[in-house]
Copies of this chain bind each other. A is one copy, B any other.
């Protein structure tokens, strides 16, 4: 049976590109993915982006990017779902190929965060509830601080164990040439870091950044036979929303949409979460890592910090997470992040993760969140 597969991947390093335009960044990733797929020509381009209208005064990226990448007359539009925008574009590409209507779809996530030097946090806060949260100053960072404070209080988790998530991310990023921060950090550095929003310190927060990543989707029977790398199939896909505002949830420490979307994606793939070999999760904040692991069922409520402490989540552990540095080590180019996560998973499944290569992994769970799991988009990827 023919499956929807990823035939090519492409990315540029995550960082601050003051000298490269949004369209150039995206085009580099797009052309890299097309080349990696043996030159397959896409019939459709789906774009994940959050901030271009606000920061770069640029909408209609569909026409802009197809034009710039030499793909004129190709179907194209933007998908936006806050931090899960890239994952949303990927899901759209998946459905388009699945429908039989599109044979070859290119998915690109792009974010140009550094076009603006003032008010970025405000720009990102538009992805929260503008009328009831953002306008009160409740940014994602301050909300993550509330979540962590509540977590520490409720579960008596030791504050210092959250260091493990940050240390792990930075350790893994060392082996990723496309990561923004390729230096390990020492525990003392974490412990002495400046507070961003009590109790979150600088290392609990993934830095917003510029970036672009792309993948090319097609049907397995259409993929070129001579590719030098294995194909990666999309075995499960799911998008679930929750309340927009954190304060509307009876239990804010339960990332319900994250849990539902893992469940649905795994059910479609015919497996249990424990059957995956690694988990690329959305660690915009260290507390998100803990809550995502618990939502997916990898740890009981209030216990995920123990997995971090006992080494289970490292490259040698039984459930490696964020194997190439995650958002914390790679950087978080918001609307592009969901596609970077897919690319990272593909590198592992294809055996191209370099010094960070896991031993022959077959299945990956990949999840992006929009806000505090207001939107959760999860995919199960499988080496063909």
Contacts and interface: CB of A to CB of B under 8 A. Distances in A.
B99 A56 contact: no
A323 to B, nearest CB: 27
Interface in A188-245: 237-245
A16 interface: no
Interface stretch (A59-67, A310-318, A340-348): A59-67
B76 A78 contact: no
Contacts of A241: 62-63, 66-67, 72-76
A63 B130 contact: no
Interface string A244-270: 110010000000110010000000000
Q: A51, A61, A85, A241 — which one has the most chain B CB atoms within 10 A of its CB?
A: A241
A73 B244 contact: no
Interface stretch (A90-98, A149-157, A288-296): A90-98
Interface in A353-383: 370-371, 374-375
Contact of A134 (B57, B79, B98, B248): B57
A79 B82 contact: no
A186 B210 CA distance: 54
Given A239-B77, A241-B73, A60 B256 contact: no
Most B Cβ at <10 Å: residue of A68, A81, A238 = A81
Interface of A: 21, 44, 50-51, 53-54, 56-64, 66-68, 72-82, 84-85, 88, 92, 95-96, 98-102, 122, 125-131, 134-135, 237-245, 248, 256-257, 260, 370-371, 374-375
Nearest to A50: B59
Closest 6 pairs (CB-CB, A-B): A99-B99, A63-B374, A77-B81, A60-B82, A75-B239, A58-B130
B80 A77 contact: yes
Contacts of A21: 131
Contacts of A51: 53
Nearest to A264: B75
B101 A95 contact: yes
A67 B99 contact: no
A38 to B, nearest CB: 24
A165 to B, nearest CB: 24
28 contacts: A51-B53, A53-B53, A57-B126, A57-B130, A58-B129, A58-B130, A58-B131, A59-B80, A60-B82, A60-B126, A60-B128, A60-B371, A61-B80, A63-B374, A66-B241, A67-B241, A67-B242, A72-B242, A72-B243, A73-B242, A74-B241, A75-B238, A76-B241, A77-B81, A77-B85, A78-B79, A79-B80, A95-B102
Given A58-B126, A63-B241, 18 more contacts: A44-B239, A54-B54, A58-B131, A59-B80, A59-B127, A60-B80, A60-B128, A62-B81, A63-B371, A67-B244, A73-B241, A73-B257, A75-B241, A76-B239, A77-B81, A77-B239, A77-B375, A98-B100
A341 to B, nearest CB: 16
A90 to B, nearest CB: 11
Nearest to A238: B75
A85 B79 CA distance: 10
